[in-house]
Amino acid sequence: MKKKLILIAGPTASGKTKSSVLLAQQIGGEIISCDSMQVYRRMDIGTAKVRPEEMEGIPHYMIDVLEPTEGCNISWFKEQVTRHIEEISIRGKVPILVGGTGFYLNAILFDTQFEETDTDLSYRQSLEKEVRINGADSLHKRLQEVDPVSAEAIHANNVKRVIRALEYFHQTGVPISKHNEKERKKREALTSPYDYTFFALDMDREVLYDRINRRIDRMMDEGLLEEVKVLYDEGFSEDLTSIKAIGYKEFYPYFRGELTLDACIDKLKQNTRHYAKRQLTWLRHQAKPIFIPVDQYDFDAQKIVDVMKSKIQS
């Protein structure tokens, strides 16, 4: 018999935290974060990490397990989450995956196998140097030349994904968009090892953007700048995976005296809105998500959870 599994995905600021905790309370669940940045300790405000008081006694996993200097790769992440799913199921509880990192969610849901491949670090470093010297648009133009489909799908500011796409083409001679399309077709033909229900929290785009802007204002009031300043003062490099996270990289130019604080905050809001848009696009290309228009339920967590429970029971 397949293990039961629930996924709650959605763009940032869609209300995943509150809804997931309430659902866990009412169906006997435990929560596994599938946000690839919430694994890092000392990075709480910028990653919108669930606070202890918000957990309301519900166990949460994959939070605060790595130092900011450590790397987080998909193979390791999948292995850890799969182990938590097994242990939660053995205890007779329902594993609830919550997060916005779509690639990670799919890898777990469809038990994607990862092969170790040689990475040309010199090539990656040359791309990172190009970004620092010429800016993100220069790198994005390179991607347009070799893989226009990926260039259309990946925003220039998403430097990490642009570099990954260029690396893939450099290593294989094949556009990563063709590879991704092939994998998508394979995924559609596959069955998951889990009996899963996949919820996608959705809302009007303008409502979402307003919530994002207000959330970032609250983060600033809660001490986001001070949180990033501690990491900057301790010498954490922008090249670290953790510091490349939205909410951290935007403030480094301010600390170096290159941009005003207001300009950095505006950039953070813009990057977050772009990321949320990409999250929604990803959700609409997944197999069998159940979309819940949370704005139509006035963001009332109990109403949202009632919808979830009705779908789980049916």
Output the known binding site for ATP.
10-17
Q: Give the span between the Cα atoms of 181 and 184, in whole angstroms.
A: 5
Structure tokens at 31: 């929560």
Please report, in range form, the residues annotated as the binding site for substrate.
Answer: 12-17
To which residue do tokens 């809804």 refer? 19
Q: Is 247 left (phi over 0), alpha (psi -120 to 50) or beta?
A: left
Neighbours of 119 (CB within 10 A): 10
Neighbours of 253 (CB within 10 A): 15
Helices (DSSP H) in 44-191: which residue ranges? Answer: 52-55, 74-90, 102-109, 121-134, 136-146, 148-153, 159-172, 176-189
Contacts of 110 (CB under 8 A, 6+ apart): 187, 190, 192
SS3 annotation, 70-100 = CCCCHHHHHHHHHHHHHHHHHCCCEEEEEEC
The answer to whether residues 183 and 106 touch, using CB atoms and an 8 Å cutoff, is no
Please report, in range form, the residues annotated as the binding site.
Answer: 10-17
Return the percent helix, strand and coil in the chain, to nearest 5. Answer: 55, 10, 35
